[in-house]
Structures are given as structure tokens and as C-alpha cells.
Amino acid sequence: MSDFLLLTPGPTGVPQRILKALSLPMIHHRTKEYQAILERVNANLGKVFLTRHPVMTFASSGTGAMEASITNLFSQGDLVLSFSAGKWGERYRDIARAHGLQVKSYEKKYAEAFEAQEIAQALEDHPNAKGVLTTLCETSTAVAHPIQEIAKVTRLGRAILLVDAISGLGCDIFKMDEWGVDVTVCGSQKGLMLPPGLSFVALNERAQALVPKSVLPKYYFNFAQTLKAMAKNDTPFTPAISLVRGLEEALFMILEEGLENVWNRHARIAHFVRSKAAQMNLQIFAQSPSNAVTAIGMPGGIVSKDVIKHMRDAHQVVMADGQGELQGKIVRFAHMGCCTMKDAERGMHAFQDALAKAGYEIPTGVL
């Protein structure tokens, strides 16, 4: 599989430096060595989340961290406003419902994004709302939300703003503290270039103040215990040591390149993919596209599956189909994490070839 280029919206390809860190000899976690690693990792997570607040790391997929942000910050019956523009926004809403929160659900047609004004209006309509659930990059539609603007309207009231930044962080510009985001949820296998298996939740003071008030039952995902342990560079439960060592390397790589440069690289690559698709007369599905992934609408008569299969078989390039009702209709060309312009060019070449093989006439001069 080593010649395969993973342009899927998580997991992404994992750079050699990180793969090497994953296979370091095991060390025990209740040691000075591990504490030192954790201290560096926690400090560097702050530099990537752009927060001076604690960024907690859990052994779980991103969904676990989403659930943790509900069970540790709210109680049964609390009203939260959910803004979903795709499968991941819906998941956040469903998790809140599963735990007995009262959820007012706002939903966008797939491809569309919410504007800050809509959140402001919803908050005005529901002054007793305790939380606002949003998504930075809605991976299922490749839509990015204007979190900076949303945070501006949210921080005026008492509702906290929770952002699922699982696939957006490290790809789309995101400034937790400067923007006033209260809770940031993330996963390892997207912008952070790691294998799946780690998830993150960052909490500012407003969010931390809610932790002792939440009475929802919880044990494994426990913010109070985690924050307490973090102060001593410890974790309440055995951490996923090898993944954390990979994380240490991933954060070094991001900070070496510079977070602004990482964002700019994603912006350049996203621009390249979108321009090429536009030149091919294809539809950029998302109305407000993310720089982490581009969803490209399939022209009439062509289904994503065939295009994806050809890319894989003939070019060893792996992209993703749409999910749910979007299956067959879009190809998700991800360019998150360690993706370089060269990778994107290889991906675009494979994409063009696959479309041509499927009978689509690609305008001259685009190839």
C-alpha cells in the first residue's frame, strides 16, 4: 500500500517522520520521560489550536470527543442550538439528543453554510440556550463555516460556542482564543496528519466553569479529572502512548513549517483543485468551500464510485465518495494534513484521467 496516495478526508497520509515516532520502543506513562513528552505536547497543542487554555487529549475517535463535550458541559434538559449543514453537524445534534439535552435543530440544505446572522437570530429567539453546536469544516459537504463571525455573535450572550473542528483544524484558519471560541473539538487523522485514535477538546474559562455544573453521568471522558491530571502532566487513564509520540512529532512538523504557512499551503492547494475543477466545467459542491477538502459534483451520467475506482486502480490515488444521500454524486478530493501541491497535482491528474475514462469530455487546455 505504500505507493498509494491518500487524498481522503481522514485518515490522511501519515508522513515518514510520524510513522517513525509511532514505532519508538514503548515507555511507561507514569515516568518523567513521558511527563516531559506530555508537557511539550500540551504546550504545542495550544500553539496549533491557538489557545492558552488546556487542550485535553483522549484515546478515542473524534466522535468520542464530541460526546465528551456534551456529557461534561451540560445536563439533561439543557437547551442547545444545533446548526448542521451535513452529516457531522447532524452527529453533534444526535449526540446531544442521546444524552437528553433539549436540542433546537437548525439545518441547511447540503452544500450550504450558515451565516453568523442566522445564529444571532436563533440566540435572540432562544435566550435561555446554553450552547451552540457548530462545525468548522463539514467534511461531508466540504463546507466551511464562518466561525470567527459566529463567535462574535455568540460571545455576547451566555451560550457557549462549541466547534467541531475535527477536519478543519490545521487546514482552515482557526483562532480559538482570538475569535472567542469556547470549546474546540478535534481528531488526530486530519489536519494533524496522524493515524486515527486520538481526539481533543480545548476549553476556555467560560466552558471550564460549566464542568462542575454538569450532572450527566460520565466516567472515561471526564473533563474534571483530565484537567486536574493535566496540571501535573498526567492523564487519568492510560494514554495511547505511541499515538501521543506521533502527535509530538506532528506538532513539531506543523510548528516548524509555521501554522500560517500550513494554512497558506492548504489555501493554495484548495485554490488549485477548485480552479481546475471549474475549468473542467464541474461544480464545486460547497457554496462556502473549506480548504481541507473539495467536494466536486459529478457530471450527468457519471457516478463517483467509478471515478474513484479508476483513480485507485490505475493511479493508486484514493479519494472518497459522498456520504448518505450524496453517495455517487460527489467526489471528495481531500487536501488536508501533509498534502503537498505535488500530491494535489497527482490527484488532479488521476481525477482527470478517471473522468475522461468515464466518458466526460475535458475541455482542451485543462489537462
**HEC-encoded secondary structure of 235-272:** CCCCCCHHHHHHHHHHHHHHHHHCHHHHHHHHHHHHHH
Assess contact for 78 and 220: CB atoms under 8 A. Answer: no
313 binds a copy of itself (CB under 8 A): no
Segment interacting with a copy of itself (CB under 8 A) among 232-240, 254-262, 339-347, 358-366: 232-240
Residue with Cβ nearer a copy of itself (238 or 279)? 238
33 binds a copy of itself (CB under 8 A): yes
Residue with Cβ nearer a copy of itself (1 or 231)? 1
DSSP conformation class of 291:
S
218 binds a copy of itself (CB under 8 A): yes
- What's the angle, vertex CA 155, arms to CA 142 and CA 91, rounded to 5? 35
Nearby residues of 247 by Cβ (< 8 Å), 6 or more positions away: 41, 57, 188, 192, 194, 198
217 binds a copy of itself (CB under 8 A): yes
56 binds a copy of itself (CB under 8 A): no
64 binds a copy of itself (CB under 8 A): yes
Secondary structure (DSSP) of 64-96: HHHHHHHHTT--TT-EEEEEESSHHHHHHHHHH
59 binds a copy of itself (CB under 8 A): yes
Residue selected from 29, 274, 315, 332 as contacting a copy of itself according to rule CB under 8 A: 29
Residue with Cβ nearer a copy of itself (26 or 231)? 26
Give the containing element (helix H, strand E) for 223: helix 223-230
> Residue 270's CB: how many other CB atoms inside 10 A?
25
23 binds a copy of itself (CB under 8 A): yes
Lookup result for grid cell 496549533: 48
- Phi first, then psi: give them for residue 318, nearest 5 degrees: -110, 120
Residue with Cβ nearer a copy of itself (236 or 299)? 236
Assess contact for 51 and 169: CB atoms under 8 A. Answer: no
Residue selected from 177, 237, 259, 288 as contacting a copy of itself according to rule CB under 8 A: 237
- Phi first, then psi: give them for residue 310, nearest 5 degrees: -65, -45
Nearby residues of 261 by Cβ (< 8 Å), 6 or more positions away: none
Assess contact for 204 and 181: CB atoms under 8 A. Answer: yes
> Residue 306's CB: how many other CB atoms inside 10 A?
16
Residue selected from 77, 109, 205, 219 as contacting a copy of itself according to rule CB under 8 A: 219
Site string for a copy of itself, 86-115 (x = CB under 8 A): --------xx--xxx---------------
**Beta carbon of residue 315, minimum distance to a copy of itself (angstroms, whole number):** 15
Residue selected from 11, 46, 131, 170 as contacting a copy of itself according to rule CB under 8 A: 11
Residue selected from 2, 77, 232, 260 as contacting a copy of itself according to rule CB under 8 A: 2
40 binds a copy of itself (CB under 8 A): no
4 binds a copy of itself (CB under 8 A): yes
d(CA 239, CA 28): 10
Assess contact for 49 and 97: CB atoms under 8 A. Answer: no
Grid coordinates in use for 246?
Answer: 506521533
Residue with Cβ nearer a copy of itself (31 or 275)? 31
Residue selected from 35, 40, 42, 61 as contacting a copy of itself according to rule CB under 8 A: 61
Residue 297 one-letter amino acid: G
Segment interacting with a copy of itself (CB under 8 A) among 5-13, 126-134, 142-150, 275-283: 5-13
Residue selected from 51, 60, 135, 154 as contacting a copy of itself according to rule CB under 8 A: 60
Which residues in this chain contact a copy of itself in the complex, by CB under 8 A?
1-2, 4, 6, 8, 10-14, 19-20, 22-31, 33, 58-64, 67, 94-95, 98-100, 187, 189, 195-197, 216-221, 237-243, 318, 320
